[in-house]
Amino acid sequence: MKNNKDSIILGIESSCDDTSAAVLINGKIYSNVVANQEVHTNYGGVVPELASRAHQQNIVPVVDQALKKAKITTKDLSAIAFTKGPGLLGSLLVGTSFAKSMGLGLNIPIIDVHHMKAHIHAHFIQTFNKKEKKIPEFPFICLTVSGGHTQIVLIKDYLDMTIVGETIDDAAGEAFDKAAKLLGFDYPGGPLIDQYSKKGDVSKFKFTYPKVNGYNYSFSGLKTQFLYFLEKNKNKDSRFIQNNLADICASYQNHIISYLFKNVKKAMNQTGCKDLAIAGGVAANSALRKQLKELGQEKSYNTFIPEFEYCTDNAAMIAISGYFLYNAGQFAQQNISPTARITF
Ligand code: KG4
Ligand code: ZN
C-alpha cells in the first residue's frame, strides 16, 4: 500500500501513565490508541515503578492495534517518533527503547519529540475521515496546562517556540488533583472536580492569588490555602465537604481558571497575538473550554481547543510533532537516552 512519496510515521507516547501509539499518514491521523493505567487509582498519584511495568505490558499490543487500525504493517513505516521527555524516566525508557529497537530492526529513522511541544502541536492534527479543522495562525499564544506543567508559550512557527511564563512550583493539574485528593476523590481527581463544579456556585468561596513575577504562576500555595480552608470549615461543620461539594469544586476551579487567564491576557496584550490556544490534560476541563470561548468573544481573539482525545496524553500529538521534525530532517541517533527534565 505504501507509495514512495508517502510519509508514514508511528508515534509512541509513554511519558507518564498512558501508553499510546498513533499512525500519521501524510500529516493525517489514521489511528490513535491509548491504554490508560488503572493501577494508580487508589494511590493518589502515579506510582513510577508501576507505570513503567504497565508500559512494558501495554506497548506491544498498543502499537500492534495502532498499525492494524491504520491498515498498515511495520514495512510501510517511514519513521518512528517517540517522547524523549519530560516525564517519568522509567516510563520514558520503555517508549524510547522500543522506538530505538524497532527503528534499528526496520532500518528507518527515529525522531525524538518534546512532550510539551507535542501538546501544542496537537492543534495541527487533522484526522483522515473528519472535516478539515481550523488551525491557529503564527504567531499565537498557547496556554499548556497538564499534570506536570503550566506554561504560556509563544509559537512563531512549528519548530520555533518560546516560553513566556510558567509555574515556579506545582502545575495547574496538580492543583486540581491535590485538592481532589483532599476532597476524597481518587486519582486523577481533575475530571471529578470538573463534573461536580457543573452544579456549583463559583462565587460561594473565595481564594487569593500569590504574588509571582512576570507571567509566571505558583500553585503550591493554593494547595495549602485549600487545605486550611477545608480544615477551618470542617471544624465548624463536620459535614462541610458533603454539604457543599459542588460549590467548593466550582469556586476552586473558577479560581484556577481566572488565575490562568490573568497572565494569558497580559501575554496576549504584550505580544499582540490574535490567536489563543489551550493544550494539555487540563484543557479537557469543560469550564476552561467554555471560558476560553467567552474570553475570545470579549477580546476578539480567535480561540483554539484541541479535540478532547488530543488534550490528555496521546501518541497522535507525538506523531504530528515527529512529522514536523521529519520534514525538517531532524532525526535522533541510536545512542539517544530519554530525559526526565528537558529544556524547551
Ligand atoms: O497532559 P496530561 O494528560 O498528562 C501530563 O502530561 O501531565 O494531564 C493530566 C492532568 C491531570 O492533572 C488531570 O487531573 C488533568 O490533566 N485533567 C483535568 C481534566 N481532565 C484531565 N483537570 C481538570 N478538569 C478536567 N476535565
Ligand atoms: Zn502531557
Instruction: Give me Rg for the CA atoms of the chain.
Output: 20
CA distance 290 to 77: 39
- Cα separations in angstroms, 220 against 170, 255, 261: 5, 14, 18
CB 94 within 8 A of CB 14: yes
Distance between Cα 174 and ligand 1 center (Å) = 8
CA distance 225 to 217: 15
What count of other Cβ atoms lies within 10 Å of the Cβ of residue 324?
A: 20
User: pTM of the full predicted structure?
Assistant: 0.94
Burial of 235 (0-12, 13-18, 19+ CB in 10 A): exposed
Task: Give me the percent of the chain exceeding a pLDDT of 70.
Answer: 99
pLDDT at 222 over 80: yes
* Side-chain half-sphere exposure of 191, counting CA atoms within 13 A: 8
Burial of 155 (0-12, 13-18, 19+ CB in 10 A): buried
Give the pLDDT confidence score for residue 45 in this predicted structure: 79
pLDDT at 2 over 90: no
> Going along 212-332, which residue ranges are E strands?
275-279, 302-304
Mean pLDDT value across the chain: 96
Taking only the tens place, the pLDDT of each residue in 260-317 is 999 999 999 999 999 999 999 999 999 999 999 999 999 999 999 999 899 999 999 9
Residue nearest atom 10 in ligand 1 by C-alpha distance: 147
| Residues contacting ligand 1 via CB (< 6 Å) | 16, 146-148, 173, 176-177, 188, 190-191, 194, 280-282, 284-285, 312-313
Distance between Cα 16 and ligand 1 center (Å) = 11
Atom of ligand 1 nearest to the CA of 174: 12
Task: Give me the percent of the chain exceeding a pLDDT of 90.
Answer: 92
Taking only the tens place, the pLDDT of each residue in 5-56 is 799 999 999 999 899 999 999 999 999 999 988 888 778 778 898 999 999 9
CA distance 32 to 68: 11
Q: How do the residues of the chain divide into helix, strand and coil, expressed in percent and rounded to 5?
A: 45, 20, 35
CA distance 163 to 69: 36
- Cα separations in angstroms, 23 against 92, 149, 319, 324: 19, 26, 7, 14
pLDDT at 224 over 80: yes
Atom of ligand 1 nearest to the CA of 147: 7
- Cα separations in angstroms, 327 against 21, 27, 83, 159, 272: 20, 10, 18, 11, 29
Burial of 274 (0-12, 13-18, 19+ CB in 10 A): middle
The ligand that comes nearest to the alpha carbon of residue 118 is: 2
Q: What is the torsion angle, in degrees rounded to the nearest 10, for the CA atoms of residue 62, residue 104, residue 121 and residue 284? A: 20
> Going along 55-183, which residue ranges are E strands?
79-85, 110-114, 126-127, 140-145, 150-157, 160-166
Taking only the tens place, the pLDDT of each residue in 167-210 is 999 999 999 999 999 999 998 999 999 999 999 999 999 999 99
CB 319 within 8 A of CB 10: yes
